Amino acid sequence: MLVIIGKDYDGMSREAANIVADRIRRKPNLVLGLATGSTPLGLYRELIRMYKGGSLSFSKVITFNLDEYIGLPRTHTQSYAHFMQENLFKHVDMDPHYIHIPDGLANDIDAHCEWYENEIQRWGGIDLQIVGIGANGHIAFNEPGSSLGSRTRIKTLSQQTIEDNMRFFKKKDEVPKFAITMGIGTIMEAKEVLLLASSSNKADAIKAAVEGPITAMVPASIIQMHRKAYVILDREAAAKLTQQYEQR
Ligand code: F6R
């Protein structure tokens, strides 16, 4: 596990973007796992900048997103499909046929989850997976207590997550209560994992994930078992780490 501490959010985003861009340049048909949330926004901005500058193309890149809410159409402004469209896909030369995001309106959710896993395998497995971390140590929608071997499946959102999400919806009963998420086992099979965290509200989770014991109560701690993982932080997220790490 390589921990890299950037000077600030932009520094962290640049470090992450340089790794992603390097992998795409080496393998134009990279299978890239993507996350939503506020943390990777800087990374996506940087990748868009590289594309617009002519130094990067996404035309052959295959993407798989970590998760999606159940019950929201792709066009809903709070769906992760919409997030990806707005914050990355519409700004670069992605082929829409190569984009994979779990379908929150699938009729048979279990069959869809199985299809998603098989689709990842069909493309040769994920080469590089980007993940964020929740303040409680979750990765994707794998909340504390999730099986460390879990696969893509339906998860009930925690009460906390439902309450946190209320501000994004007009009516309380519009807030999704379920999501489809890649499992921890799915994420761990990616050839490389890039975990990003910024700001002080992630410092405890990062301390537990990077220097604490591996436990299902801190799902992100499984990253210690990965053969090729990068943890890219800003100084605030790294503030509670006690070992020496690479400062950039
Ligand atoms: C997003 C995801 C979540 C977020 C995490 C951090 O696809 O799966 O696990 O990565 O909740 O969210 P932010 O970056 O908004 O702090």
Residues 170 and 203 sit within 8 Å (Cβ to Cβ)? no
Q: What domain range includes position 168? A: 2-213+221-232
Q: Taking the chain (248 residues) in consecutive chunks of 10 residues, what is each chunk's mean pLDDT?
A: 97 98 98 97 98 98 98 93 98 98 96 98 98 95 96 91 84 90 98 98 98 98 98 98 93
In a domain, 128, yes or no: yes
The CATH code of the domain that includes 147 is 3.40.50.1360
pLDDT of residue 168: 86
| Residue (of 245, 145, 149) closest to 197 by Cα position | 245
pLDDT of residue 162: 86
Ligand 1 touching residue 67 (CB < 6 A): yes
Residues 33 and 126 sit within 8 Å (Cβ to Cβ)? yes
Query: Residue holding tokens 């390097």?
Result: 22
pLDDT of residue 5: 97
Helix or strand holding residue 197 (H, E): strand 192-197
| Residue burial 206-237, b: 16+ Cβ < 10 Å; e: rest | bbbbbebeeebebbbbbbeebeebbbbbbbbb
CB count in 10 Å sphere of residue 185: 16
What amino acid positions are annotated as catalytic residues? 67, 136, 138, 143
User: pTM higher than 0.95, yes or no?
Assistant: yes
pLDDT of residue 75: 93
In a domain, 244, yes or no: no
pLDDT of residue 119: 98
pLDDT of residue 166: 85
Query: Residue holding tokens 């975990």?
Result: 195
CB count in 10 Å sphere of residue 99: 18
Ligand 1 pocket: which of 12, 13, 36 to mutate (most atoms within 8 A of CB):
36
In a domain, 239, yes or no: no
Cα–Cα distance for residue pair 182/170, rounded to 1 Å: 28
Number of domains forming the structure of the chain: 1
pLDDT of residue 161: 81
